[in-house]
Structure 1
Amino acid sequence: MTQRKPLVAANWKMNGSKALVDDMTHSLAVVDFTAVDVMICPPATLLPLFPQGTAIALGGQNLSQYDAGAYTGELSASLLLQAGARYVLVGHSERRSLFSEDDDILLAKVQQAVATGLIPVFCVGENLQQRQQEKTTEVLAKQLAAVYASHPELLAKSVIAYEPVWAIGTGEAATPEQAQQAHAAIRQLLARYDTVAASKVRILYGGSVNASNAAALFNEADIDGGLVGGASLKPAEFLEICRSAKD
């Protein structure tokens, strides 16, 4: 079986402060970074406040599909890189639903990230109605194909995050078995485009991950870590989630 180093990622969304940056940095200083990668996506204004020289990786929550220009309020991949980011979230369900980001926009964003040297964390997942109609695999196939069918070379430079929309912020996490089924389906779908990259790509679970369910989720064969929302705003709990990830 291909060994994939776990990655635990925090998505602070539109939350955070200098005090939280300091508290989180202090709490995570005890993490064994040889066993797990840890990444934090704070609001972009907080990126420069993280101290340099730590093993904590930083990420943006979003980026523009354009590399520069008259796009007031947008942040390009190069600006995020200069602010200290190594990763960037692309296609989070909130960006898809609240800001109407479609497949063409998301492909352009993944391309911008990779071309600039950022690692895109490409988010996919079904809503409650789609799950109830047993369309999960169909939805995942369409979302993944929008990027990797025409540009399979991007897969080796990506991380995938499976986030069942019905579980985000609801406290209703998928069971480890449900999550594993979706992750295995994602890996099989990606193998259509690049078999080697599909076996190596890290697929994170994102949907109400917390200290109580993290270990069981991360123990599944195709779950390579988590994209953590609300629990990532609590340094002690996020530390426990990081400790739950094992090689």
Structure 2
Amino acid sequence: MAMRPYIVGNWKMNGTRAMLSEARAIDRGAERLVKVEVALAPPFTLIHATRKEAALIGVGAQDCHAAEGGAHTGDISAAMIKDAGAGFTIVGHSERRANHGEKDADVRAKAEAVLAAGMAVIVCVGETEDQRDAGKAESVVARQLRGSLPQGDNAGEKVTVAYEPVWAIGTGRTPTVEEVGAMHRSIRAVLKDLYGEETGGKVRILYGGSVKPENAVELLGADEVNGALVGGASLTAESFLGIVVAAAESLES
């Protein structure tokens, strides 16, 4: 049986209370598309408000600190995020890795903190253009997975992996369907090795990187693609729901 598609919107550093109308519209649209699991990750400032305004979709955070609390000015712990109403947290996004120098060990520590707080986690991986051109894409992503994914009993049961080729994020460029499928099959093999055949076979693998309504059907039809992590196209209900509709249609093809 095919996995239920998971479409997650990452609002990044966008959004004020005026954008709650988009969240409400996405929530209403998701009510008609129950075969797809839909979620939004707004900025920290909107997590609580989005949870109150959007009752049907998942609401999560874009990052967290690995520590439970303490002298970390400006940071947010997983427990605080959960208290605000979040049910999941994204960790390891390429923009965090590049802009904040996060290493695989940092990402794993955050992922384990998210699980310890009782939330699900989306762990992001992806190669740069130079790494792909050098023929190292799959080995780079495999190394990131092994270094970033949480360990421990039942860790894989609340994990989603998001594959985002760095060179495709926000650029309008996308890999071919064949390239996406090859990478997702490679990721699946690593997941089964890390978490076992059964659990590793059930972890959803999302594709991210310039996903929009116009290319969603094709990308979601690639081998081992179980959903999408959507950036800019998630900022309006119209474009985001177009991707959700594409996910629903992928179940029928």
Q: What's the TM-score, normalizing by structure 2?
A: 0.92
Q: Which amino acid aligns with 2:238?
A: A
Alpha-carbon separation, structure 2, partners of 1:212 and 1:140: 27
Equivalent residue number for residue 6 of structure 1: 5
**SS in structure 1 at match of 2:228:** strand
Q: Who is 1:29 aligned against? A: 28
Identity, in percent, stands at 38
Q: Secondary structure at the match of 1:171?
A: coil
By percentage of residues, which structure has more helix?
2
Distance 2:237 2:18 in 1: 11
Q: In structure 1, what is the equivalent of residue 119 of structure 2?
A: 118
Q: Report the alpha carbon displacement of residue 34 of structure 1 after superposing the two structures with TM.
A: 2.5
CA distance in 2: counterparts of 1:148 and 1:229, whole angstroms:
22
Aligned length: 246
Gaps of 5+ in 2: none
C-alpha separation in 1, matches of 2:219 and 2:157: 24
In structure 1, how many angstroms separate the alpha carbons of the residues matched to 2:132 and 2:152?
28
Distance in 2 separating the partners of 1:245 and 1:195? 26
Structure 2 letter corresponding to 1:40? L
Q: Which amino acid aligns with 2:116?
A: A
Gaps of 5+ in 1: none
Instruction: Name which structure has the greater RCO, CA cutoff 8 Å, separation 6+.
Output: 1
1:157-212 deviations in whole A, cap 9, x for unaligned?
20000000000000001222211111111001111122111210110000000010
**Backbone CA RMSD of aligned residues:** 1.6
Equivalent in the alignment of 1:101: 102
1:19 corresponds in structure 2 to: 18
Query: 1: CA distance between counterparts of 2:22 and 2:115?
Result: 31
Match of 1:222 in 2: 224
Post-superposition shift, 1:148? Answer: 4.2
Q: How far 1:23 moved relative to its partner?
A: 2.4
Deviation per residue, 1:203-239 (Å, 9 max, x gap): 0000000010011111123101100011111220101
* AA at the equivalent of 1:156: E
In structure 2, the partner of 1:68 is 69
CA apart distance, 1:107: 1.1
